[in-house]
């Protein structure tokens, strides 16, 4: 336990250094607005991708409706700041709670389904959430909710991201997380071992949805607007793509894939008509040559850490 | 609303729904056949439908071809593209986790959409009027010529498909592969070839749907396949995915429900209705209307 804590503190320290460097570069205007935007997008994507990885990669429940929960967080947080004049942190928490609650309510009946059927159901639910929002005049309907203050900055997204990753990492290494992984490996065997599979599936789904809500809140408070068109199933596919590309069940993989794909799409921004074509070709080629994702279900840093420290505790957790 | 006008409105929506639904059914057939045989949700299927619409468009405008040859050309081109996609993008991943193939399918779908935009420009095109605009008024119910043609062509294609699947050797092989791939292989069936046939037939049907929609709505664009693709998928699940008559039934039912919702409630809820049906059917009978429940064994 001590070793884990020490390692966590070490990684957290490294995060602070990274934060200080990037924030410093932003302060002195070395990083222009375009790249600041992309760094913020990377952080938001990391939150979305790691939280979806908790559902898809670690618990093995195939959900492709993540954009719906993101939309709930985005809209509810925007309502809190715009209509109720609440502080930003309250708005983020409200978005997270609302998305998590919705995840719980939706998860309870749908998680009885498995495999492709669950995927389709979550896809449909994501679209239903979006269409419902589209039909609520209070939040602007089809034209979106405008005039949201820009509270999100690099500090907010960075620490939200660090919190998310640490939360999910520690959850996975806890009893609850192990229960989730056992469901992924073999649901029937897990049940036979006395694990309440429904409970853990709903737990993972709720937590994943709540973090998607956080990401949504940060997203809408950066772009001044919450628009239903930002949360279509294409957004869910985007997140899913990053999860699978990074490797199902690999948090470091999720982070790498978020950074890689966001950068690729930013780098291609100057060729708008070719952007999606190159993006899709790259996706197909990467999947053909690396179907298990970049890292499979292994963790990059932990393995290296494990080797450095002579076989640390976590090295074996996600290996073999 | 008194009863007589309600009844005529109801029948009117029923007519619209059946013609819309037969298009969903044509697309859903491709989904269901591919799913039945390799358990893949082929997200690129909706884009094959778009491709078919464009081939039909160019065949009628540039090629100056009449309707039927244009339809056949569109179906053949789409069938070839479908087979090529399967060969290049899905076959190498046959023995890998399903999710990898699913992501590849999403990639192919994006490639077709945005590659299509690059090739034919994102602007919607106006499909030339292939048929006259005759409108028949049968006892207060308005039916136009396009609706009749959609229905006739779809029914004809479905009859041909049913014949192929149930009466020919290829169809028999398809059913065998879908029932048990390994056993089929042991019986000497060339599984890869059968999968190619399945993709060809499914894509051809989607292309026919694309041409018919182009004629019906007069407008086509490179992203037209996304929503109908998803809805057709809902239709396939509704009827029981992997079951061919289920896709036909699901498609028509979905079309009718959508027409009813947009006719009696509000057209903005049309899309929500489709997904609402999806959720309800998945919760109460996940195997679909015509599906059989299969218990998972240890």
Per the structure, the count of domains in chain B is: 1
Q: What is the mean pLDDT of chain B?
A: 88
Distances in Å between the alpha carbon of B177 and those of A235, B30, B170?
35, 16, 10
pLDDT for the residue B207:
95
- Average pLDDT, integer, range A29-56: 91
Interface contact flag, A188 B279, Cβ < 8 Å: no
- Which residues does B34 contact at the CB level (< 8 Å), separation at least 6? B40, B42, B45, B198, B199, B202
Question: Cα separations (Å) of B295 from A80, B98, B298?
Answer: 46, 21, 10
Tokens found for residue A8:
């966590």
Dihedral sign of CA atoms B40, B44, B50, B53 in order: negative
Does some domain include residue B100?
yes
Write down the pLDDT at residue B87: 94
Instruction: Give the DSSP letter of residue B127.
Output: P
Interface residues from chain A to B (CB-CB < 8 Å):
56, 62, 109-110, 112-114, 116-117, 119-121, 123-125, 127-128, 131-132, 134-135, 188, 233, 237, 240-241, 244-245, 248, 273-277, 279-281, 283-284, 287-288, 291-292
**C-beta atoms of A113 and B286 within 8 A:** yes
Highest mean pLDDT among A71-75, A153-157, B8-12: A71-75
| Residues from B in contact with A at Cβ < 8 Å | 35, 39, 41, 89, 92-93, 96-100, 102-104, 106-111, 113-115, 117-118, 230, 233-234, 237, 241, 268-269, 271-272, 275-276, 278-279, 282-283, 286, 296, 298
pLDDT digits (tens, 9 = 90+) for B244-265: 889 999 999 999 999 998 888 8
The residue extents of the domains of chain A are 2-232
Q: Return the ∠ at Cα A104 (arms to A123 and B267), rounded to 5°.
A: 40
How far is residue B12's CA from residue B15's CA, in Å, rounded to a whole number? 5
B295 inside domain: no
Residue range A92-119: mean pLDDT, rounded: 88
Q: Is residue B289 part of a domain?
A: no
Kindly state whether residue B291 falls inside one of the protein's structural domains: no
What sign results for the dihedral spanned by CA atoms A116, A122, A124, A127?
Answer: negative
Q: List pLDDT tens digits, range A207-240.
A: 999 999 999 999 999 998 888 888 988 889 889 8
How does pLDDT run across A160-180, given as a tens digit for each residue? Answer: 999 999 999 999 999 999 999
| Interface confidence (ipTM) of the complex | 0.84
**Beta strand extents in chain B (DSSP E only):** 125-126, 135-138, 141-144, 219-220
- Give me the CATH number covering residue B49: 1.10.3470
Mean of pLDDT values over B180-188:
91
Residue A302 has pLDDT above 60, yes or no: no
Measured in degrees and rounded to the nearest 5, phi and psi for residue B135 equal -125, 125
The whole domain housing B38 covers 3-284
pLDDT in tens, B79-134: 999 999 999 999 998 888 887 888 899 899 999 999 999 888 888 988 888 777 77
Inter-CA distances, B174 with A93, A107, B90, B217, B245, Å: 53, 36, 18, 34, 15
Considering only CA atoms, which of B32, B35, B52 is closest in space to residue B203?
B52
């Amino acid at each position: 336990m001590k070793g884990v804590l020490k390692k966590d503190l070490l990684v957290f320290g490294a995060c602070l250094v990274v934060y200080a460097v990037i924030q410093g570069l932003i302060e002195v205007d070395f990083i222009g607005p375009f790249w600041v935007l992309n760094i913020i997008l990377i952080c938001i994507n990391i939150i979305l991708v790691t939280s979806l990885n908790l559902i898809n990669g670690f618990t093995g429940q195939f959900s492709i409706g993540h954009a719906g929960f993101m939309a709930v967080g985005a809209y509810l947080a925007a309502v809190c700041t715009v209509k109720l004049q609440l502080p930003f942190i309250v708005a983020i928490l409200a978005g997270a709670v609302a998305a998590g609650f919705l995840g719980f309510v939706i998860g309870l009946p749908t998680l009885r389904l498995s495999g492709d059927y669950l995927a389709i159901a979550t896809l449909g639910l994501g679209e239903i959430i979006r269409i419902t929002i589209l039909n609520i005049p209070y939040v602007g309907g089809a034209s979106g909710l405008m005039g949201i203050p820009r509270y999100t900055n690099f500090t907010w997204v960075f620490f939200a991201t660090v919190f998310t990753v640490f939360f999910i990492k520690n959850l996975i290494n806890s009893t609850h997380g192990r229960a989730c992984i056992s469901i992924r490996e073999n649901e029937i065997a897990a049940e036979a071992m006395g694990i309440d599979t429904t409970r853990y599936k709903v737990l993972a789904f709720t937590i994943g949805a709540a973090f998607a809500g956080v990401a949504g809140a940060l997203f809408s408070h950066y772009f001044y607007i919450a628009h239903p068109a930002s949360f279509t199933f294409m957004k869910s596919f985007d997140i899913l793509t990053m999860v699978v590309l990074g490797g199902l069940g690999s948090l470091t993989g999720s982070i790498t894939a978020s950074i890689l794909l966001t950068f690729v799409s930013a780098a291609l921004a100057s060729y708008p008509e070719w952007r999606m074509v190159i993006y899709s070709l790259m996706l197909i080629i990467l999947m053909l040559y690396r179907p298990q994702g970049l890292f499979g279900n292994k963790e990059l840093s932990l393995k290296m850490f494990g080797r450095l420290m002579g076989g640390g505790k976590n090295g074996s957790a996600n290996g073999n | 609303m008194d009863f007589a006008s309600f009844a005529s409105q109801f029948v009117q929506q029923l007519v619209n729904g059946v013609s819309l639904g037969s298009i969903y059914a044509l697309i859903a057939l491709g989904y269901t056949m591919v799913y039945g045989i390799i358990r893949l949700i082929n997200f690129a299927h909706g884009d094959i439908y778009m491709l078919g619409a464009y081939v039909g468009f160019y065949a009628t405008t540039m090629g100056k071809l009449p309707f039927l040859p244009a339809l056949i050309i569109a179906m053949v081109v789409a069938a070839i593209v479908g087979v090529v996609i399967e060969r290049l993008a899905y076959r190498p991943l046959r023995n890998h986790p399903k999710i990898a193939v699913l992501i590849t399918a999403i990639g192919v779908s994006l490639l077709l959409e945005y590659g299509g935009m690059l090739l034919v420009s994102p602007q919607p095109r106006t499909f030339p009027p292939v048929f006259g605009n005759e409108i028949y008024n049968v006892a207060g119910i308005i039916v136009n010529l396009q609706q009749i043609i959609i229905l006739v062509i779809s029914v004809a294609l479905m009859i041909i498909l049913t014949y192929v699947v149930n009466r020919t050797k290829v169809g028999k092989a398809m059913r065998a592969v879908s029932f048990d791939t390994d056993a089929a292989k042991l019986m000497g069936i060339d599984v890869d070839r059968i999968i190619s046939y399945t993709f060809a037939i499914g894509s051809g049907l989607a292309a026919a749907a694309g041409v018919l929609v182009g004629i019906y709505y007069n407008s086509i664009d490179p992203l037209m396949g996304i929503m109908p693709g998803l809805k057709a998928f809902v239709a396939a699940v509704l009827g029981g995915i992997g079951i061919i008559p289920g896709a036909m039934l699901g498609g028509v039912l979905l079309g009718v429900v959508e027409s009813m919702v947009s006719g009696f409630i509000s057209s903005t809820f049309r899309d929500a209705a489709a997904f609402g049906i999806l959720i309800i059917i998945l919760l109460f009978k996940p195997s679909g209307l015509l599906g059989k429940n299969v218990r998972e064994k240890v």
